[in-house]
Amino acid sequence: MRNHHFRLINQEVPKTIMESWKRSRKSEVSETLNSAPLVLTEEDINKIKQHDNLYQSFSMVYSRMEREIEDHYAFGLADERGRMIGVRMKGKLHDQLREANFYPGANWHEEVTGTNAIGTALAAKQSVTIHTAEHFCDAWKAFSCAGVPIFHPIKKKLIGVLDLTSNDEHFHKQSLLLTKAIAEGIHLDMLNRVHRKTSILKEVFMKKKHETQQDWLLAIDEDGDMLASNHSSKSFQYIWKSAFDWDTYFQQLQSKKETDNEHEPLPFLHGQPEGKVHSVIDNEKIIGIIVQLPKHSSRQPTTKMSTQTSQHEDGVIGQSAPFLSFFSKIKKVAPSHVPVLLTGESGTGKEVFSQTIHRLSDRREKPFVTFNCSSLNHELAASELFGYAPGSFTGGLKEGKKGLFEAADGGVLFLDEIGEIPLTVQPLLLRVLQEKEVLRVGEYKPRKVDVRIIAATNRDLKQMIQEGTFREDLYYRLSVINLPIPSLRERKEDILPLAHYFLEQCQLAGRIQFSESVVQVLQTYDWPGNIRELRNAIEYSVLFMDEDIIEIHHLPDYLQELRSTPFVLVNNLPDIGTEKHERENIIQMLKQTNFNVTKAAKMLGFSRGTLYNRLKKYNISY
């Protein structure tokens, strides 16, 4: 078989097939595999037939077109994991395909069964035809197949593949067109089902909303996505579990006779606060739930983070491994009272995560105060942080002023850009951390304060210690817990959910989509300015779009240019965590933009003023 593959290479083998063969070899698929492994039980398949929208649309559409479909075609429907969930076939093909387990429950993912229409369409996310010898495994070579991916009509995520299989002599150019026509029928049927269920769910939600004034209400569809709520994202105080088995949960609800439950723990929220779940029924099937939560729970309230979609608060969004690892640490350290140092590149969301720590802690009802350490000189920084006594200096308030430490008493003080704090102020800050008391400028009697410190920086503080610009004892006081925030290029899976979140912030969620070419640019660009730069790009695109879809020409100019000019990937550069690396990154961006400061600033996620300051600081001529 391997030699046969190489022999085919001398012919004009499609690139899609070549890439699939490479993936199949990398996955160590056996070329002598004679049947797809069965991974679903009969019980699993029966549940899918009863509850799965994709299967029900497939069944409906096929029944409408069955008379027009020739007997020598077999149709298979697989889910997004390549598991066959529905089959329709007649005549001689039945016995031939049965031997290969072309049957509900079999796994036709490319990593398992090599190059085939289902697995390869899933991997490539595009329609494919696989002719006889183009299959990776010998057992599939008797057939030719067409595979068409099916995307959710609203959420646009890949949810399955429709496969047409026949003997090669019966496979012709129209086979792929027929498969696409049926797939389009499935798409439209699903769209009608989704709109109908959404309308019913929202109607029930509005009725409950008029009846309920004091509690939080959430309308959640059968996929676990929030369709409506009666609160702003900032006021909601619970965290969604990022990985929750909604299918099993809805099946359990379906088995219950009651549609309205008494207060019970809600397993899809962290901490499982108690609330009511009202099931919404259509044709004897639960199509969603209305969740009713008291605004003041006896359990620990927390910050909102969404289910598997992008309904998160203030950009706290992610399902990638680096993000989940980082956020799990956030949740562990939040209940403590020790100082936290957040490090990472510019634009990664340090203030957002500091607010999250505050909301997840028992200080959440107390003040959260922010201070940018780069904004003031020694005298003003000291008076802002520690306050001053009456008559301490010209221009001060007669009655004096309490500082930010006192303003944050009982709560959290967020010291942003801690690396910029004047060296002369650092011993005063250290004393407050050690003694838990503050001395106002011009006073001699200290005042006790209870403040948790969260500091943040994109500078290399250890390097600054060696240079004598940052105190080592202060560093160790601030970095009891040091949490590096992953950059956006380390969390590629989170780019699209974040982009959709920013559309939501523009009041456009659900109404505006990204074209495939825009999605490609968003996912391949390395975002040196991180989340801040992504947000700026989305807001820019919204301002210039004139349709209901964002196209390449709506993006900022520097992103449009990525389609036509070579682009040096930023992840080939060292991490921006040190000043040396930040300087190299800035130089790289200047070269890449032909020393256009405005474009370079956008790509770095800086304002022009900030970039000019960095150029002066690092003695970069341009």
Q: How far apart are CA 282 and CA 529, in angstroms?
A: 47
What is the model's pLDDT at position 574?
38
pLDDT band at 567 (very low <50, low <70, confident <90, very high): very low
| Residue among 404, 388, 383 at smallest CA distance from 451 | 404
What is the model's pLDDT at position 158?
92
Q: How far apart are CA 563 and CA 496, in angstroms?
A: 19
Q: Can you tell me the mean pLDDT for 574-597?
A: 67
> How far is the CA of 361 from the CAs of 132, 333, 404, 548, in angstroms?
61, 9, 20, 41
Q: How far apart are CA 416 and CA 392, in angstroms?
A: 27
Tokens 């100082």 belong to 339
Q: How far apart are CA 71 and CA 90, in angstroms?
A: 5
The fraction of the chain above a pLDDT of 90, given in percent, is 33
Q: How far apart are CA 585 and CA 90, in angstroms?
A: 62
- What are residue 406's phi and psi, to 5 degrees? -70, -35
Contact between 84 and 106 under an 8 Å Cβ cutoff? The reply is yes
DSSP H or E segment with residue 151: strand 143-151
Q: Which CATH architecture has domain 2-193?
A: 2-Layer Sandwich (3.30)
Six token digits for residue 70: 């020739």
pLDDT band at 238 (very low <50, low <70, confident <90, very high): low
pLDDT band at 236 (very low <50, low <70, confident <90, very high): low
pTM across the whole model:
0.47
Helix 597-604 / helix 530-544 crossing angle, nearest 10 deg: 120
- Which residues are CB-neighbours of 342 under 8 A, at least 6 positions away? 350, 353, 354, 454, 455, 456, 457, 483, 485
Q: Can you tell me the mean pLDDT for 270-294?
A: 84
Q: How far apart are CA 212 and CA 401, in angstroms?
A: 44
Contact between 483 and 294 under an 8 Å Cβ cutoff? The reply is no
> How far is the CA of 430 from the CAs of 244, 329, 408, 427, 471, in angstroms?
44, 25, 17, 5, 9
Does residue 571 carry a pLDDT above 50? no
Higher per-residue confidence, 12 vs 477: 477
- Which residues are CB-neighbours of 322 under 8 A, at least 6 positions away? 486, 490, 491
The bridge status of strand 84-89 relative to strand 74-79 is: antiparallel
**C-alpha torsion sign, points 109, 115, 121, 125:** positive
Q: Can you tell me the mean pLDDT for 309-314?
A: 40
What is the model's pLDDT at position 269?
76
The bridge status of strand 513-514 relative to strand 549-550 is: parallel
What is the model's pLDDT at position 465?
94
Q: Can you tell me the mean pLDDT for 11-27?
A: 88
Does residue 42 carry a pLDDT above 60? yes
Tokens 């100019």 belong to 557
Q: Can you tell me the mean pLDDT for 98-120?
A: 92
Query: Please, what's the b/e burial string for 489-509 (b: 16 or more CB within 10 A of its CB; e: otherwise)?
Result: bbbeebbbbbbbbbbbbeebe
Six token digits for residue 199: 């309308």
Q: How far apart are CA 32 and CA 593, in angstroms?
A: 53
Does residue 230 carry a pLDDT above 70? yes
The fraction of the chain above a pLDDT of 70, given in percent, is 84
Contact between 514 and 499 under an 8 Å Cβ cutoff? The reply is yes
Of these ranges, 3-12, 142-151, 315-324, 420-429, the one predicted with the greatest mean pLDDT is 142-151
pLDDT digits (tens, 9 = 90+) for 331-343: 999 999 999 999 9
- The distance in angstroms from the start CA to the end CA of the chain is 58
Six token digits for residue 573: 């550069």
What is the model's pLDDT at position 606?
67
Q: How far apart are CA 448 and CA 531, in angstroms?
A: 38
Q: How far apart are CA 275 and CA 252, in angstroms?
A: 17
Domain ranges across the chain: 2-193, 212-293, 321-484, 489-617
pLDDT band at 183 (very low <50, low <70, confident <90, very high): very high
pLDDT digits (tens, 9 = 90+) for 600-619: 776 666 666 677 777 877 77
Six token digits for residue 535: 């947000």
The rounded radius of gyration (Å) of the Cα atoms in the chain is 29
pLDDT band at 454 (very low <50, low <70, confident <90, very high): very high
Q: Which residues pair with 228 in a beta bridge?
A: 219
Return the HEC string of 473-528: HHHHHHCCEEEECCCHHHCHHHHHHHHHHHHHHCCCCCCCEECHHHHHHHHHCCCC
The arrangement of strands across the sheet holding 84-89 comes to 84-89, 74-79, 158-167, 143-151, 128-130
Q: How far apart are CA 144 and CA 171, in angstroms?
A: 6
Q: How far apart are CA 156 and CA 150, in angstroms?
A: 9
Q: Can you tell me the mean pLDDT for 158-169?
A: 92
- The CATH number of the structural domain formed by 321-484 is 3.40.50.300
Average pLDDT, whole number, for the chain?
A: 82
Does residue 311 carry a pLDDT above 60? no
- The CATH number of the structural domain formed by 489-617 is 1.10.8.60
Burial, 443: exposed, middle or buried (Cβ in 10 Å; 0-12, 13-18, 19+)?
middle
- Which residues are CB-neighbours of 2 under 8 A, at least 6 positions away? 31
Contact between 221 and 227 under an 8 Å Cβ cutoff? The reply is yes
CA 343 to chain centre: 21
What is the model's pLDDT at position 313?
46
DSSP H or E segment with residue 94: helix 93-99
Q: Can you tell me the mean pLDDT for 413-441?
A: 90
pLDDT band at 212 (very low <50, low <70, confident <90, very high): confident
Quickly count: other Cβ atoms within 10 Å of residue 124's Cβ. 18
Q: Which of 244-253, 283-292, 465-474 has the lowest mean pLDDT?
A: 244-253
What is the model's pLDDT at position 222?
85
**C-alpha torsion sign, points 295, 296, 299, 300:** positive
Does residue 324 carry a pLDDT above 70? yes
